[in-house]
Amino acid sequence: MIKTKPFKRTTSHKTHIGDIAGFTLIETLIVIVIISVLAVIIAPSWVTFLNRQRANAGRDQVLQVLRTAQANSKRLRQPVGISFNIPANQETDLPTITIRRDTQTLGEGSLKPGMASLSVVDGNGNNLTGIAFADDGSLAGTPTFDATGNVTAVGQNPPPTPVKVVVSSPAVNNPTRRCVIVETLLGATRPGADAECN
């Protein structure tokens, strides 16, 4: 009798399901859902943080301009005014601040139109276009400016205090508000936030 070897199948090129490396479709979808949920939770906080930073930067710029004007009025022994050039549509144009011949755009180049707005109001809620400091650094009447930015006249009566210069970010839709408050006729200024700026 002839002995034959039993037939044996070779599976050198076949792979088993357990040997495949990688992620399944379900695992990938779960990761995508988790990332999406985290993004939805974090996005509003991030936008609020950015708006707060923009408003703080604008307020700091306004505070520096007011303090510079006040110091210059004492040093030069003459009234120094600040002109607030507030565009009609602050969603398309940024406000500018002029002290003497130096004009600065709100945000100093870091903001785009619609990211911030500016308003100046006195203690009675009247809108102002400028503030002047007298030669002793106290709050003076409403200034009138010539074409070069110099004060040509100062009104007899200073505006009712407190005078608030309010920076809002964004320009519309429930903005974060920061302000500089000129509290007294002597020109005491301080930063303010949120409810103080209404």
C-alpha–C-alpha distance, residues 50 and 3, integer Å: 85
Give the per-residue pLDDT at 37: 94
* Average confidence (pLDDT) over 104-132: 91
Give the per-residue pLDDT at 18: 58
Give the per-residue pLDDT at 179: 95
Q: Is the whole-model pTM more than 0.85?
A: no
Residues for the chain: how many in total?
Answer: 198
Give the per-residue pLDDT at 141: 83
Give the per-residue pLDDT at 26: 94
Give the per-residue pLDDT at 156: 80
Q: Which of 85, 91, 98, 169 lies closest to 128 in space, CA to CA? A: 85
Q: Give the gyration radius of the chain's Cα atoms.
A: 32
Express each pLDDT in 72-101 by its tens digit. 989 999 888 899 999 999 889 999 998 878
Residue 62, CA atoms < 13 Å, CB-side half-sphere: 34
The model's confidence at residue 149, banded by pLDDT at 50, 70 and 90, is: low
Give the per-residue pLDDT at 127: 93
Tokens of 112: 């785009």
The model's confidence at residue 187, banded by pLDDT at 50, 70 and 90, is: confident
Q: Which of 99, 63, 93, 90 lies closest to 193 in space, CA to CA? A: 63
Give the per-residue pLDDT at 157: 86
Give the per-residue pLDDT at 21: 74
Contact 50, 176 (CB under 8 A): no
* Average confidence (pLDDT) over 108-133: 91
Express each pLDDT in 150-179 by its tens digit. 677 888 888 898 999 999 998 778 889 999
Is the predicted pLDDT of residue 197 greater than 80, yes or no? yes
* Average confidence (pLDDT) over 184-189: 88
C-alpha–C-alpha distance, residues 180 and 192, integer Å: 6
Amino acid letter for position 19 = D
Give the per-residue pLDDT at 6: 67
Express each pLDDT in 16-61 by its tens digit. 555 567 889 999 999 999 999 999 998 888 988 999 999 999 999 9
DSSP, collapsed to helix, strand or coil, labels residue 29 as helix
